[in-house]
A and B are shown apart, each in its own frame.
Chain A
């Protein structure tokens, strides 16, 4: 783990007086704490799209990547299941156009398949300081609010309890041909989120949504980090 590289990314954003990290930057911070994230690269020129796509490998997801946009779906800046270079170039053009007034680039990332989506995150409570969240992800996060919290530091036991506490905890079990989710890896992510909260004061809030269970392994597919 390399905490320094996480700090560098954040310092850089703060120097630019930004209130948030881009998805690409956020994932660098997460990766520095050993949290599994999607393989991806950031493309600023149309000419680099095909090479980047080859490197990551089809099928792909492409997203507008800007620290100025907290919630991308609402802005129509996500294209999924891109299967070849002509689709990739088309997606690039559309996203580039969609980004228009925002500063940003296009993120090309591996497409993670998995039907189970979770949310994890970090908030700072006025009274108790950094608190870590676990819950059902994707579009259900806000509808069901099936979530649990623990104050950092999150111990292994806390992490295991958080997962079992939500009503939909069965989603982690073997179910309809899906494997049992790796609870150890999930617990690690929760523990590391708590660590970020305790070690990096400039991080105000984190959303990892969704975290997709691919096979049995959780991978952070989208991430938002708000700075203070």
Chain B
């Protein structure tokens, strides 16, 4: 029996287990689980082993590393892998031979003295099929083809070359690309192009992207936003491996708890539907679908067909399989953060602690749009919280307006602790007003990063989460981001790291946080309903 992604990962995710006593896995109904598991066990195990060699290769060839010039894709990848601390053995290949960074360059793949696990191919398009075939013969389980010049050109030659790649792949080597940025896997140190400085911290989020730019952007964003990746795959033209096959793999991958994707077009609607449905049943699948314009619709007669354009159908299909649809990379990243760091449940009612910016009204409006309540606290709790707040101008109703940005972390801790006593509250949001400390820093004549008590705040919040079991989401508001206030930007980046290190999700804006929580609610709410 395969491990299900859910049961494996709830416990494997260090960021979640720092804070919460993660309960047992969500029970899957027996019959549905069996439907999902139609793959023959042995066959499936073999496939998983092959993928293991692709994502965590021990012997890696880079074909297209040049001794003279250090700026090509191949050389860039060699340097990036070294910088990332890739632990496997690297075999650079170039017909001219020579040395690169002290490593011997092999003249051809055939000369490599060992069985390969994986290859990075960056030679000109015309040379790719022969190189790929050589890698296959050397035993490589897979190859990523970074080279461009294939079907994306729309030329007969490009299409023909890509067909050849597909034919070689069918003989027994899985191909990522061509025309892509490759694979990023923090655990093995494989990295996207050009990514010498991506994080080596693994995490629960996988990203499949038709766009290489989107892949590298998300990988970089994840690093400072606290999103750890299991695998990121930029699959470009997707000659062999693409959305459907990779979904199928990730659904069963114990390292992956959340699947995210950017797709423009899919190859086969039927199998995509089947795989995304099966995957969504096991773990959240977040989809950003590019290219949903109304253009290019065929002539239709009925009202039904005229209203069922591709945008509407995509929306409906994603809804049908309980996938989470997002509109852009920002929303994708924010949703990933919420799924990665919040417990697997529906948060019906929340509290908001903060100040400024018409807090009460905006918070309630944003929450209502996602069916989340911000209920007034019980009278008793209101009194207790009121006693902790500075006067006048504060409010203990919920949202709780602290009125003064310099309320010390210890008081905020007590407020959060008291608020959590209300049984209805499932989750708390704190809007941090740390940026105001610049005013205090000016008076004290010290840098703001030494004055703002962000570490104490992070510790206080972490303590409350641990004590109450109710998650707290941090909003690091900052209306001051200009050149005059780079010190605030720096201080908040340091603050963010403190929160993230303690497993606390951080958002820039309240409405972004609430939208992300809304996605979590929608997914677990519908999955629960589906299981009943």
For A165, the chain B residues whose CB sits under 8 A away are 319
Give the nearest-CB partner of A133 in chain B.
B304
Contact partner of A122 (CB less than 8 A), chosen from B304, B315, B530, is B304
With both chains docked as a complex, state the minimum distance between the C-beta of A157 and any C-beta of chain B, in angstroms. 7
Q: Is the CB of A128 within 8 A of B303?
A: no
Contact: B302 with A127, CB < 8 Å?
Answer: no
Which residues of A sit under 8 angstroms from B310, Cβ to Cβ? 125-127
Interface string of A91-131 (1 = CB under 8 A from B): 00000000000000000000000000001111111111101
Chain A: interface residue count, which band? 35 or more
B270 near A133 (CB under 8 angstroms)?
no
Contact with B along A152-178 (1 / 0, CB 8 A): 000001100100010000000000000
For B270, list chain A residues within 8 Å (CB).
128-129
Report, nearest first, the 4 A-B pairs whose CB atoms are least far apart.
Answer: A121-B304, A149-B316, A127-B269, A205-B302
B285 to chain A, nearest CB (A): 16
Give the distance in Å from the alpha carbon of A131 to the alpha carbon of B298 in the complex: 16
Are the CB atoms of B302 and A123 closer together than 8 Å? yes
Q: At the interface, yes or no: A145 with Cβ under 8 Å from chain B?
A: yes
Closest chain-A Cβ to B247's Cβ sits at a distance in Å of: 15
The answer to whether A125 touches B303 (Cβ under 8 A) is: no
| Interface flag for A70 (CB, 8 Å) | yes
A39 to B530: give the CA distance in the assembly, Å: 38
Instruction: Please tell me which one of the listed residues B273, B304, B315 contacts residue A205 in the complex, with CB atoms under 8 A apart.
Output: B304
A180 interface hit (Cβ, 8 Å): no
Task: Say yes or no: B308 contacts A209, CB within 8 Å.
Answer: no
Cα A121 to Cα B305 with chains together (Å): 8
**Does B494 interact with chain A (Cβ within 8 Å)?**
no
Cα A20 to Cα B313 in complex, Å, equals 24
A125 touching B308, Cβ below 8 Å: yes
User: Which residue on chain A has the smallest CB distance to residue B297?
Assistant: A126
Task: Evaluate contact between B317 and A151: CB separation under 8 angstroms.
Answer: yes
Taking the nearest CB of chain B, how far is it from the CB of A209, in angstroms? 6
Asked whether, in the complex, the Cβ of B301 is within 8 Å of the Cβ of A226, the reply is yes
A133 lies within 8 A of B317 (CB): no
> In the complex, how many angstroms separate the beta carbon of B458 from the nearest chain A beta carbon?
41
What residue of chain B has the Cβ atom nearest to residue A70's Cβ? B301
User: Is A27 an interface residue when CB atoms closer than 8 A count as contact?
Assistant: no
Q: Does any Cβ of B come within 8 Å of A224's Cβ?
A: yes
Task: Check if A141 is an interface residue, CB within 8 A of chain B.
Answer: yes
What CA separation (Å) do A224 and B300 show in the bound complex? 13
* Contact between B312 and A149, CB atoms less than 8 A apart: yes
Cβ 8 A contact of B302, one of A121, A150, A157: A121
6 A-B pairs besides A123-B305, A125-B310, A133-B304 with CB distance below 8 A are: A121-B305, A128-B317, A141-B303, A149-B315, A149-B317, A205-B302
**Complex CA–CA separation, A70 to B301 (angstroms):** 8
- From A20, A161, A207, B304 is in contact (CB under 8 Å) with A207
Taking a contact as CB atoms under 8 Å apart, the answer to whether A123 and B308 are in contact is yes
Choose among B300, B301, B304, B320 the residue with the greatest number of A CB atoms under 10 Å from its CB: B304
B307 within 8 A of A: yes
CA distance A145 to B303 in the complex (A): 10
| Assembled-state Cα–Cα distance A44/B384 (Å) | 84
The answer to whether B304 and A206 have CB atoms under 8 Å apart is yes
Is B266's beta carbon under 8 Å from chain A?
Answer: yes
Contact between chains at B304 and A151 (CB < 8 Å): no
Proximity bits, B281-303, A CB within 8 Å = 1, else 0: 00000000000000000101111
Task: Give the residue name and chain of the B residue nearest to A226 (CB).
Answer: B301
A205–B530 touching, CB < 8 Å: no
Q: Is the CB–CB distance between B303 and A207 below 8 Å?
A: yes
- Given A125-B310, A128-B269, A133-B308, A151 and B316 contact (CB-CB distance below 8 Å): yes
Choose from A122, A126, A131, A145 the contact partner of B316 (Cβ within 8 Å). A131
Measured between beta carbons, the chain A residues less than 8 angstroms from B319 are: 161, 165
Complex Cα distance A111/B353, Å? 60
Residues in B with CB closer than 8 Å to A120 are 304
Given contacts A149-B308, A150-B320, A157-B530, contact A128 B273 (CB under 8 A): yes
Pick the most buried of B266, B312, B530: most chain A CB atoms within 10 A of its CB.
B312
Which residues in chain B, 396-444, are within 8 Å of chain A measured between CB atoms? Answer: none
**Does B302 contact A125, Cβ atoms closer than 8 Å?**
no
Task: Report the minimum CB–CB distance from A116 to chain B (whole Å).
Answer: 18
- Return chain B residues, CB-CB under 8 Å to A192: none
B307 to chain A: which residues have CB within 8 Å? 133, 135, 141-142, 145, 147
Task: Point out the residue from B269, B300, B313 that lies within 8 Å of A149, measured CB to CB.
Answer: B313
Give which listed residue, B300, B301, B313, B530, contacts A128 with CB less than 8 A: B313
Interface centre among B300, B302, B305, B313 (most CB of A within 10 A): B302
Which chain A residues (41-86) contact chain B, with CB distance < 8 Å? 70
The complex places the Cα of A204 from the Cα of B319 at a distance, in Å, of 24
A185 within 8 A of B: no
Which B residues are CB-close (under 8 A) to A125? 269, 308, 310, 313
